Amino acid sequence: MQLVIVESPAKAKTIEKYLGKDYKVLASYGHVRDLPPKDGSVRPDEGFEMDWELYGDKQRQVKAITDLAKQADRLILATDPDREGEAISWHVRELLGKRKALPKDVQRVTFNAITKDAVTTAMAHPRELDQDLIDAYLARRALDYLFGFTLSPVLWRKLPGAKSAGRVQSVALRLICEREHEIEKFRPQEYWSVLARLEHLGTEFTARLVKFDGEKLEKLSLGDQGSADRAKAAVEGAQFRVEEVDTRPTRRNPYPPFTTSTLQMEAARKLGFAAAHTMRVAQTLYEQGAITYMRTDGVQMDPSAISAARKAISERYQNGHYLPEKPRHYETKAKNAQEAHEAIRPTDFGKDHYGSGDEARLYELIWKRAIASQMASANIERTTVTLRDPTGKHELRATGQVVKFPGFLAVYDESLDQKPGEDEDESGLLPAMVQGDTPAKRAVEASQHFTQPPPRYSEATLVKRLEELGIGRPSTYAATIQVLKDRNYVRTEKNRFFAEESGRLLTAFLERFFPRYVAYDFTAGMEEELDDVSGGRMEWKALLEEFWKDFKPKSDEVMERKPSEVTEALDEYLDDYLFPPKEDGSDPRQCPQCGAGRLALRGGRFGAFVACSNYPECKFTRKFAQPGGSAAGEEGEIGQHPETGEPISRKVGRFGPYIEMGSGKEAKRSSIPKDVPEMNLDWAVKLLSLPRTVGVHPESGEEITASIGRYGPYLAHNGKYAKLGGTAEVFDIGMNAAVARLADAANGGGRGARTPAEPLKTFGPHPDSGGEMKLMAGRYGPYVTDGTTNATLPRDKKPEDLTAEEATVLITEKAAKGPAKKGGRKKAAPKKAPAKKAPAKKKAD
């Protein structure tokens, strides 16, 4: 009997079908053991010896593997073809050896796809365990352990409220915090643009003013309405003539097939998937034999796969123009050839669809990207038309493009993130024009704009930035991001990362006391050294010794500092963040309450906060950071209620900032939720209006209300409650979604309680919100949603006939109406209970 070990039961089941009766396939269910989470599991003084501990939930499975191994003639370790897969195989071999159950014949096989040909070919070509990959695993695991278990005790004692730090996660957190600081420092600048709507040969097009009074216009040249109005008047009063028509053919080449990181980026952009969800779905597709291995840095495809892709292209596009003469070959950027596996691709290019739900959506994305990588380039014609007035002082420019031959664009076009402040290219079709033409002027518009701060990171852009910097490896990004969320160092809103107070304080602490170890170049250099270990170019213990000889003394030095010294150092380091200059030039550290004391950072049992130096006479405090990253948490008036005229004030209390309208017992108050991006008058009015009536439940006739309570935003109906995802949802959720959410809660809803409903139809992203538009079957009729706004279909509209344009209009119109107004239909009058009959009188004896 031959025993085969793989990671998952799904993989085991698939492989067992391809092998003969002499084979028995068992799953290890991932790693079987790890370093115990306690001090001393890695011992630098003993040559970095490590203690390993069997996972508690793996006892039964390891026993099953051990029992069969004792009966087996041959052990085949067939775990995944990467460093982690090699490590799992090594752990299994080591465990069986200690239990005296290791067969004499032990071999390692790897395959990049779980198909019959790939599996049987791999079985015919076994190899030994790769010690270089095992050493790289040991080095990385020891490095992460030493970093975390040495630094975390320092944090617990010197930085109250901090939970832990990690070698890669701390650098990823620094990126998010730095972006937050850039946004806070950003000061928007006003600018104007002047556009002329022109018509020629019955076709309207738009031209932009690029030269005014002989001066070339830069983005910020028209900085106020006065200059914009003068420019607009000049365009309105002039006759413009075509002076130049520049037409240039260009080519766009297809992108290589997916790697782990590019798959995570595109799945986030196009499908709205979190990195961790993308990897879970991809793992399922791999184990079902639908795609190749999904943890890879490689962009090349196997020659047989390239041939299969070219065959599928020629069958799909009969004219042959879509198939280039020669196959396309891509080069990987991965330095280590042992880890540069084949790109992610379908195992069968003849299947353009596979599975259902999220699996089907991700598979389609992978199939399109892979097949497009072998298609012909797209031919595009870009045209620029320059128009001038008779004086030559004013100049308009119109641009457009025409796709002459779509090539790979017929199948796939990659999403691109627009840079902040970047104007979208005019990509419409221009009418045929020649020098001397004078298009008719239909209208001239002057539009006001403001420069925008750099955008917060999404999962896609954060992964891209980490990869650009060479920090971490694609297979670890999903886990790194999840740790930041789980420890509440960051929060996500509309798929964007916001740095939380604890995350910003931790980053400041590490930058001040451990600057080398959160430096981008140091972390990237460490990754290169780990690659050198896996490539056999460096000894793993030498890497650890080099790291430990500097890191340990530094951590000891910080541990010896008094907590007050740490706080004072952070107070100085964070001066520009905690106490930014005031517009009136007054001292930003002056206490707003007593006027005499100075504000400074203090450390408390539950974290850092800002307090007055005149304590205990003055008890003014404010939190380390306020929602949205603003350091300005002082009390003050926000504005007046637009309906009542009453002043609304922002105050700071025992439990944090809140808003108040009125005084005494009649005052209305509301705490400021953490996910409110910026507390302004609009938000204050909305929060003080709660609870909001969503509508009347169609079954009970009782009102459904949305509000914010002690445990966050929620729905309430007839004594029953359901959680909401965020503050914005309190004001946006409609009846269909509210009824469904309450029903989920009533049925024991929550995570994993029921499978999310599959959309009846998908239409692509909404042009404004960017959310994926879906047609859903609601409990009270079909509706369309972009994830934020739900719009019920008109009664006369059949769901199957709904188009993407109609879905866009329905969602846009519903969003424009805003949240449902309080009140709605009146409560159903309670039914009177039937009058009780008077008890019968007893008869006299």
Beta bridge partner(s), residue 108 = 77, 127
Active-site position among 145, 191, 286, 293? 293
List, as own/partner pairs, every contact residues 502-505 make where C-beta atoms lie below 8 angstroms and the sequence separation is at least 24, other chains included.
502/161, 502/162, 502/163, 502/607, 503/173, 503/176, 503/177, 504/177, 504/180, 504/624, 504/625, 504/629, 505/159, 505/161, 505/162, 505/570, 505/607, 505/608, 505/624, 505/625
Q: How many beta carbons lie within 10 A of that of residue 831, not counting itself?
A: 6
Q: Residue 3's closest CA among 66, 60, 88, 84?
A: 66
Angle between helices 59-71 and 83-98 (to 10 degrees): 70
The residues that bridge with 27 in the sheet, in sequence order, are: 6
Q: Residue 504: phi, psi to the nearest 5? A: -70, -40
What one-letter code names the amino acid at 347? Answer: T
Q: Provide the strand spans (E) within 310-376.
A: none
Block residue for tokens 């001292």: 587
The C-alpha atoms of residue 368 and residue 362 are separated, in whole angstroms, by 10
Distance from C-alpha of 257 to C-alpha of 331, rounded to nearest angstrom: 11
Q: CA–CA separation, 478 vs 486, rounded Å? A: 12
Greatest Cα-to-Cα distance within the chain, rounded to the nearest angstrom: 124
Burial (Cβ within 10 Å: 0-12, 13-18, ≥19) of residue 82: buried
b/e for 704-730, b at 16 or more Cβ within 10 A?
A: bbbbbeeeebbbbbeeeebbbebbbbb
Residue 471, classed as helix, strand or coil, is coil
293 is catalytic: yes
Burial 347-369 (b: 16+ CB within 10 A, else e): bbbeeeebbeebbebbbbbbbbb
Neighbouring C-beta atoms of residue 436, cutoff 10 Å: 8
Cα–Cα distance for residue pair 401/389, rounded to 1 Å = 25
Q: What distance in Å separates the CA atoms of residue 132 and residue 20, rounded to the nearest whole number?
A: 32
**Reduced 3-state DSSP string for 484-520:** HHHCCCEEEECCEEEECHHHHHHHHHHHHHCHHHHCH
| Nearest by Cα to 192 from 487, 405, 439, 451 | 451
Cβ count near 455 (within 10 Å)? 14
822 C-beta neighbours (distance < 10 Å), count: 13
Residue numbers annotated as active site: 293
